[in-house]
Amino acid sequence: MAAMRPPPAALQKGVIILPSAFTMANLFFGIYAMVTADRGDFILAAWFIVLAAILDTLDGRIARFTRTGSKFGAELDSLVDAISFGVAPAYIMYRLHFLDSTWGWLLPFLYIMAVVVRLARFNVEQAGEAKRHFHGLPSPTAGMILATSHPFTQTPFFEAQLSFLPWSQVMGVAMVLISVLMLSHVPYPVVPRIGFRTRRGIITTAIMLGLIALAVTVPRYYFFTALITYTVWGLARSFVLGLLDRIPEQDPLLDEEGDEDDSGAEVRSLDYRAIAPVRHRSEPVVRDSESPPSRDRDPGSSNDPTSEDPS
């Protein structure tokens, strides 16, 4: 006798719940990272933050793949990220470096405030859009930098070469700089998509597999140094392009449905009447002469939210 298949409605309901299940798992590991830090195991707490970031990446990918994204999912993801990559890393830093200071809690507070503002801005600017770049350092990256700094300090390299540094002061300055970068408009690239259909996709896949191998074999060295490199590289690239006075070739907020072909991307019109002098606000909207006007879309109709992660 053939196995009974679930009705389509029940199947669709299960698919919709799947991204939220990954988001709740993200929340679980963010909370458990704080519990573990409170017990004194800061290395395990750091890996829980990393695991939360991986789950944060997966829930957005699953929502896009199953086409089950929603405004509810985007808001839920931001609330969870505020805990997993804001409160949890800040608490780890407080327990490690600022517990004995009367006003040391202010640095974790400023960091959490930056994360919350960063996520709110992300929801307004980029949530629901396929992105080529993040505006500002992503909060999962910031949280992982802080959390994985402690495992890095337990390596032989750190003991031999960097142990003379006043690490508490260094991390205090790092928290301020990371907070500023999260609120900045420095463009940080997302992790490229993997695939086997194009030569570029194959090369990207090979590089990603190599990085995963490093992350698994030498995690204490890999995560902190890779995340710092990503952060510094994005800032340096933005600085150099600013000196060259270059305008980005592509709009980082355009939808990106295809892997390589952007010919189907929507051309967005620009309306400057809201900021123009009053006498000019009644004039027609000026559009790009080479681009046909696009149909108006409901700005609240985004049904494909992606989480804020470095992927």
Does residue 86 lie within any of the structural domains? yes
Question: Which of 55-64, 100-109, 111-120, 174-183 bottoms out in mean pLDDT, i.e. has the lowest?
Answer: 55-64
Residue 212 corresponds to which amino acid? Answer: I
Within a domain: 146: yes
CA atoms within 13 A on the CB side of 248: 14
Paired with 182 in beta bridges are: none
Name the residue with higher pLDDT: 266 or 245: 245
Distance CA 133, CA 248 (A): 11
The residue among 80 and 73 whose pLDDT is bigger is 80
pLDDT tier at 272, thresholds 50, 70, 90: very low
pLDDT of residue 259: 45
**Range of the structural domain that residue 143 is part of:** 12-243
Domain count, the chain: 1
Residue 284 within any structural domain of the chain: no
Mean pLDDT of the chain: 78
Task: Give residues with Cβ within 8 angstroms of 226, minimum separation 6.
Answer: 211, 214, 215
Per-residue pLDDT tens digits for 194-241 = 777 788 778 888 888 898 999 999 999 999 999 999 999 999 988 887
pLDDT, tens digit, for every residue of 11-31?
455 556 777 888 999 999 999
Question: Which two tokens mark 161?
Answer: 């070469």
- 237: helix, strand or coil: helix
Residue 221 within a domain: yes
Low-confidence winner among 82-96, 126-140, 199-213, 254-268 (lowest mean pLDDT): 254-268
Residue 301 counted as domain residue: no
Alpha carbon dihedral 180, 186, 191, 195, in 10-degree steps, equals: 170
- Give per-residue pLDDT as tens, 85-101: 999 999 999 999 998 88
Residue 293, pLDDT above cutoff 50: no
DSSP code of 117? H
What is the percent of the chain where pLDDT is above 70?
69
**Largest distance between two CA atoms of the chain:** 77
Residue 115: per-residue pLDDT: 96
Nearest Cα residue to 82 out of 253, 303, 308? 308
pLDDT at 244: 73
Q: How does DSSP assign 142-210, residue by residue?
A: HHHHHHHHHHHHTSHHHHHHTTTS-HHHHHHHHHHHHHHHHHS--EEEPPPPP-SSSHHHHHHHHHHHH
Domain membership of residue 291 (yes or no) is no
In the predicted model, is pLDDT for residue 174 greater than 90? yes
DSSP 27-68: HHHHHHHHHHHHTT-HHHHHHHHHHHHHHHHHHHHHHHHHT-
Residue 258: the pLDDT is 45
Query: What span, in angstroms and rounded, lies between the C-alpha atoms of 164 and 152?
Result: 14
Residue 290 is predicted with a pLDDT of 43
Mean pLDDT of 138-166: 94
Instruction: Count other Cβ atoms within 10 Å, centred on residue 33.
Output: 30
CATH number, domain containing residue 205: 1.20.120.1760
Among candidates 253, 308, 309, which has minimal Cα distance to 74? 308
Query: What pLDDT, on the 0 to 100 scale, is given for residue 260?
Result: 44
CA distance 173 to 153: 17
Please choose, from the candidates 143, 132, 56, 146, the residue with its C-alpha nearest in 3D space to the C-alpha of residue 93. Answer: 146
Please report whether residue 47 resides in a domain: yes
pTM: 0.72
pLDDT category at 71 given cuts 50, 70, 90 is: confident
